[in-house]
Structure 1
């Protein structure tokens, strides 16, 4: 078996990469990850250096792969290890560079070890961990894994499991938005109606588009909105303008954009991706202040769209206790961490044991805040 490092997805065909994917989830497709690279959103001085790993047999057949990046910082990951890095700095241990398997800038769960067989996935992982020290890497981190990967990691010594919590909305076979509202407690139902009425009262309507239905001038507007969400916090956006055009050209069927208009003029947008059973809310932006427009554009419009499309789940992104009262349910997420330094590994293991109990308690408490009517 041979493990190969790819500094660019351009060095492997989309067919060879995509045939290892377990589903049509858009974030793992060659088109998505390659667009990040070719647009300059990752690579160069971004601190995300592509270093994808491939496992091939003696005949050169591709058996397993991992979307991976050499990281010189911890930004854009959404599994926060800043305190681990700071502890290493105080102890004189180098934490960076590290190797990260993740979808850049997207806290979305899914496959991270791409393989048809668990045995091949295990061989790739074992080969990677054995070579970390020789490559000067402090560890390998794998964020937002699926059940297949969890089984592979859980069967191996040295890997540390970390739990997190997100909020996803689940379609219980609702016929329309009103049907969903009818499942809520009266007070919560009235609150949502009031929020939607406040937006409508400002003369705002919504226009849904597929990726291939936006002209370049409209993509300019989408990007201006996206970039403004960072500018108001004094930050630079992760994604470049070219990324949106590349993605629209390569996988338009997976893109949905909703434009919020006032008097025919676009004032805000939300960008979504979708697969066979899930809508993913990714980016949002607004060029002026409107009361409750964020909730309507990002949550209620997406929720309504998921019902229209017959999708089973709506993942509106990271963070958000404010999602609870809007029907989004707490969901456990998992990441896995292999740390080379034995002292660091022991300290992090102890930290994760304590954190895990807190996450379980938080999820249980969050469930009590859901707005659904009691049976």
Structure 2
């Protein structure tokens, strides 16, 4: 069956790509999202993310499987950190870049990576690993996989599993935010209520917008806030300003923006996507300092939204033990790595075994520290 490599997603009809997502309606995998990254210049060029998507068609020319794939010349924006592996290769005189990465750029969200027919997508994986050396790639990585894909990797030689830990909020049929608070211990319930009151006391009010109701001037503000979170750390933002406008054109129904306003003027924002019955908090930023505003804008407003919309889960992004005491529960994430160099593979395999024990202990300790009342 013919395999096609796409250097840009615009080379495939959006409907044909999205048809592969019938069982995976997550917004990050849609043609609209991935093509907006490319068309806005957020990936491609000198970003270190070169589109290298793999598409498999049947004898009739119908697309039956695909991998959202990138040729990487750095490890920026991946959230499964392999800088130490790259450094070890550099010191040993081994080329680590370029490598191949199957993932959604800048989005540490678990979801489908093998799109369409799973058996056919597995053949794409096998073809890629067989040609790594010949194509000048050191490795193939697949980040933030779902359980169905994990089973495929487990049954293939050479693949190394890496686990991580994130914190997600789960909706257990709460009627409103107070109902959620009632599930917490008295001490934590008082802390969360006090934090919300502190924000209100500063005259902050919140406005939620769907993508089609955000003006270009408001997108300017959203981007300024987003970029500022990078500038204060001395870094350049991954996304360009045009990405937000393109996404608002192509999939406005999936966008949720909450604006924090003081005296009618926006002072902070949080940008989220919605799909598959879940809310995904992605970007936040503020152009001024306000006490506890980050917790309210990024967490409590999202919980309110998830409850009101009857969503099952709120994924507020990677990192953050500060989420734990606010009811976000530890969740194990998985990624898979195929390293061509046998010495590197052996060293990384040993490291991952040790790391796994540490991550599992950390997740267990985090679960013991959750603020929920013991029934």
Question: Which TM bucket (shorter chain)?
Answer: over 0.9
Conserved? CA contact 1:121–1:152, under 8 Å: no
Worse-superposed segment, 58-67 or 255-264: 58-67
Residue 94 of structure 1: aligned partner: 95
Give distance in 1, aligned partners of 2:279 and 2:349.
34
Deviation at 1:24, TM superposition (A): 1.3
Report the CA distance between 1:2 and its aligned residue. 2.4
TM-score by length of 2: 0.99
- Which runs of no fewer than 5 residues in structure 2 stay unpaired? none
- Per the TM alignment, residue 251 of structure 1 is displaced from its structure 2 partner at its CA by 0.5
Specify every segment of 5 or more residues in structure 1 that has no aligned partner in the other structure, as ranges.
none
How far off its partner does 1:62 sit? 1.4
1:4 deviation in Å?
1.5
Instruction: Indicate the residue corresponding to 2:201 in structure 1.
Output: 201
Q: CA deviation at 1:61?
A: 2.4
Q: Provide the residue aligned with 1:323 in structure 2.
A: 323
Matches within 5 A, 1:129-278: 129-278=129-278
**Mapped contact 2:67–2:121 kept (Cα < 8 A):** no
Verify the 8 A CA contact 1:3 1:127 in the aligned structure 2.
no
Alignment of 1:364 onto 2:334: no
Q: After TM superposition, give the deviation of residue 57 of structure 1 in Å.
A: 2.6
- The DSSP-based 3-state class of the residue aligned with 2:158 is coil
Q: Alpha-carbon deviations, 1:210-255, whole Å to 9, x = none? A: 0000111111111111011111111111000100000001101000
Aligned residues between the structures: 374
SS of match in other structure, 1:230:
helix
TM score, norm. by length of structure 1 = 0.99
Whole-angstrom distance in 2 between the partners of 1:154 and 1:10: 33
TM-aligned CA deviation for residue 263 of structure 1: 0.5
- C-alpha deviation, 1:7, in angstroms: 0.1
Indicate yes or no: 2:36 matched with 1:38: no
Post-superposition shift, 1:121?
Answer: 2.0
CA-to-aligned-CA distance 1:154-179 (integer Å, 9 cap, x gap): 11111100000000000000000000
- Partners in 1 of 2:355 and 2:61 — Cα distance? 43
Alpha-carbon distance, 1:340 to partner: 0.5
SS of the aligned residue for 2:20 comes to: coil
Distance 2:116 2:219 in 1: 35
Q: Once structures 1 and 2 are overlaid, which stretch shifts more, 173-182 or 150-159?
A: 150-159
Q: 1:226 & 1:142 partners in 2: Cα distance?
A: 27
Partner Cα distance (2:354, 2:232) in 1: 36
